[in-house]
Structure 1
Amino acid sequence: MMSNQFGKRHVFMVLSILILVTTPLFVLLLPNWNANNVYHTPSNWYVFVKGSTYGMYGVGFLLLVIGSAILAMLDCSRKAIYIAILCVVLAGSSFYVAGRQYIALADDSIKYRDMFSKGHSYQWSDVESVQYNKYPPENEFPSYVFHFTDGHSLNLVENRQLPAMRESVKHRLKMEGIAIDVKY
């Protein structure tokens, strides 16, 4: 008769390693997938996520790794279970907070929500001015800063998705009579 050589400890160790190995893939793909599934409407050109969103997803996955690693190291003791539950709740909170942040450019509006604030929605006619930072300081990407009539502003970093929509944004701003102020 063969005995079970793998206990709970080994299962949670494997789970911890599996989460750790797959985290980079999930952190790269999950934020955009989630934002586009939750906030996309037919009039949207695209839904963007800010860089801090990726960091929050990374923190969530790190908490899952820590929770399962603690279960493995402490052999599923009562204390380990409580700590693991806390890690899972904190990871869920991190995913929830990160999932609320988005920027959506649409035919008729610009909508965005920062991590810990309520959402903002502006018509293109509410854009007061746009500044394009063509040559930002080192280690930064070029960006557009939209200034709205109510005093709020939105910094839209020119990452790999934005160049495909650059002409649409320029055309929409031209329709509203707004010139882009290029900063060198």
Structure 2
Amino acid sequence: MKRVLGWVSGVLLALVMAFWCVTATADMALSAGIYGTPGTYKVERCYDTDLSGKHSDYDCHGDFTPDRKTAADADYVPLEDTGRDYPDGTEFDARQGIEPETLQRVGFWGVVGELWQVSICVAVLAVLAYQAIKPRGADRRREDHRREPSRRQKAADRVGYAVLVAVPVGLLSWIAMVAEPTP
């Protein structure tokens, strides 16, 4: 029963992480300028949505003006969970995704803002894959007596290396995002 519960929990966690990874990767591709409509976002105002004041969770309101268009062609686009209190009137390069309300900051800081999410998702998925692949019980005891690790152990070790790369990348990009200067 314990093993079944572990597998079910692992599969559910993997599905959630895979969904988060796909959406964060799409947002990172938008920030990198791979797709979307380029333009400029001008912040009208931002406000903290966390009423307790313990955590800063900012929503911003402003206008997105596509390149080669005038301010009269600007579209009102609210930004949710920006993680930053942009001063009123701040302008930054942005890209609008397929859906009009999908907007991401472009450039280094935009990519860094999404990279930590992708890295953490990859690390969690790699840990789950390692747990599923690595030898257990009797298989592990047999393997301890071998000189050469089994193919299964080699595969688990390779997946483990992804964790060794993804965790530092995620932590460094999160630190960079927090230390980002306000435009």
What's the TM-score, normalizing by structure 2?
0.35
Question: Which of structures 1 and 2 has the larger relative contact order (alpha carbons within 8 angstroms, sep 6+)?
Answer: 2
What's the TM-score, normalizing by structure 1?
0.35
